[in-house]
Copies of this chain bind each other. A is one copy, B any other.
């Protein structure tokens, strides 16, 4: 009953096999290899346009490199109050960006509303006393397990671009979002105004593989140096490329994500039927629910693993009752239905 995080899961068998297959003979280091070339072509096809691709081993690196690329040091990154980049990366964007500022915006269910962004952009910026908004960063799926619809991204991007603000998507769980939507990778990114994407594979089933995707390859100048001097140009590069290649091949990423999402649905449905309603809609592979103390205690004693979650972004009117804890339950490609069912049964038994 391991619902602590999708990065507690292992490597999807197809991806591990791809690593093993790549272990054949010599290959020039630092991306001058056939695997890297292939994965670049693959991503271009997947996104239906020429792209510039920079692989890294961690999502924090992908986010921080992308953000630093999109803003001068005196720029501000607008993001949700609870964005991973703002709260969970120990200041990586600030470090990579030479002291940029992250400006948090509120929003129900982890999402920034257009009006909120519009108001923020009207604030006191530039001049030169104030930093200037340079990037809007959206998490897809969000930290609250919700999903931005293409038209929502389009509306936000239009506001941003009108002010010269670039749009970045932290796609650590992009696959989970896409697997929920009837929309292609292109339709949820550059076609609705996304300029740069951190494409996650690790949480989706890779060992350690992420990519910065720049949708305008003409604006990639300096990124190779930026990545190298951050220590994020992996030398035996073929093994990262092989992971991403396998991840995308035959839409494996969507299949794995669909399984994770299904498990989250199953979990949510089970909890609801036991009277435990998720606080945010379950739109990806995460379920946030307030557990009464006895339920929490019983689950823990049965070995269930999960983390408590902060309550500041609860929807208006929703409260966690005293004694209960808001927790986050994350499913993954590796989650098994019987584990979900056991979790639900344990929770219901303790209610």
List A residues at the B interface (Cβ < 8 Å).
Answer: 2, 4-5, 7-11, 16, 19-20, 22-30, 56-65, 72-74, 87-92, 94-102, 124, 126-132, 202-203, 207-208, 222, 224-236, 239-240, 305, 310, 334
Please state if A231 and B92 are interface contacts (CB–CB under 8 Å): yes
- The secondary structure that dominates the A interface is loop
The contact of A228 among B22, B60, B208, by CB within 8 Å, is B60
Report Cα–Cα, A59/B234, bound state, in Å.
Answer: 9
Known: A4-B28, A305-B26, A310-B124. A101 touches B102 (CB 8 A): yes
Residues of B within 8 A of A98 (CB): 73, 95, 98-99
Residues of B within 8 A of A97 (CB): 99
Closest to A1 in B: B26
Copies in the complex: 4
Please state if A222 and B60 are interface contacts (CB–CB under 8 Å): no
Closest to A58 in B: B231
Please state if A73 and B101 are interface contacts (CB–CB under 8 Å): no
The contact of A233 among B9, B60, B234, by CB within 8 Å, is B60
Report Cα–Cα, A65/B230, bound state, in Å.
Answer: 10
Known: A231-B58, A235-B7, A239-B207. A91 touches B73 (CB 8 A): yes
Closest to A226 in B: B74
Residues of B within 8 A of A72 (CB): 222, 225
Please state if A57 and B208 are interface contacts (CB–CB under 8 Å): yes
Report Cα–Cα, A208/B57, bound state, in Å.
Answer: 9
Closest to A26 in B: B2
7 contacts between A and B (CB under 8 A): A19-B19, A61-B230, A63-B231, A74-B91, A95-B99, A95-B229, A98-B98
Please state if B26 and A239 are interface contacts (CB–CB under 8 Å): no
Please state if A90 and B29 are interface contacts (CB–CB under 8 Å): no
Please state if A208 and B239 are interface contacts (CB–CB under 8 Å): yes
Minimum CB–CB distance from A204 to chain B (whole Å) comes to 12
The contact of A128 among B56, B228, B310, by CB within 8 Å, is B228
Please state if A233 and B101 are interface contacts (CB–CB under 8 Å): no
Please state if B5 and A225 are interface contacts (CB–CB under 8 Å): no
The contact of A207 among B11, B19, B310, by CB within 8 Å, is B19
Report Cα–Cα, A128/B94, bound state, in Å.
Answer: 15
Known: A11-B23, A91-B73, A97-B99. A128 touches B60 (CB 8 A): no
Residues of B within 8 A of A132 (CB): 225
Minimum CB–CB distance from A55 to chain B (whole Å) comes to 11
Residues of B within 8 A of A229 (CB): 60, 73-74, 89-92, 94-95, 99
Task: Please list the 8 inter-chain residue pairs (A to B) with the smallest Cβ-Cβ separation, ordered nearest first.
Answer: A61-B231, A94-B99, A128-B224, A74-B225, A95-B99, A2-B26, A60-B231, A90-B229
Please state if B89 and A228 are interface contacts (CB–CB under 8 Å): yes
Residues of B within 8 A of A8 (CB): 26-29
Please state if B10 and A23 are interface contacts (CB–CB under 8 Å): yes
17 further contact pairs, Cβ within 8 A, besides A16-B23, A20-B20: A10-B23, A11-B239, A19-B19, A60-B228, A61-B231, A62-B231, A74-B229, A90-B129, A90-B228, A92-B231, A95-B229, A95-B230, A99-B100, A127-B224, A128-B233, A208-B235, A208-B239
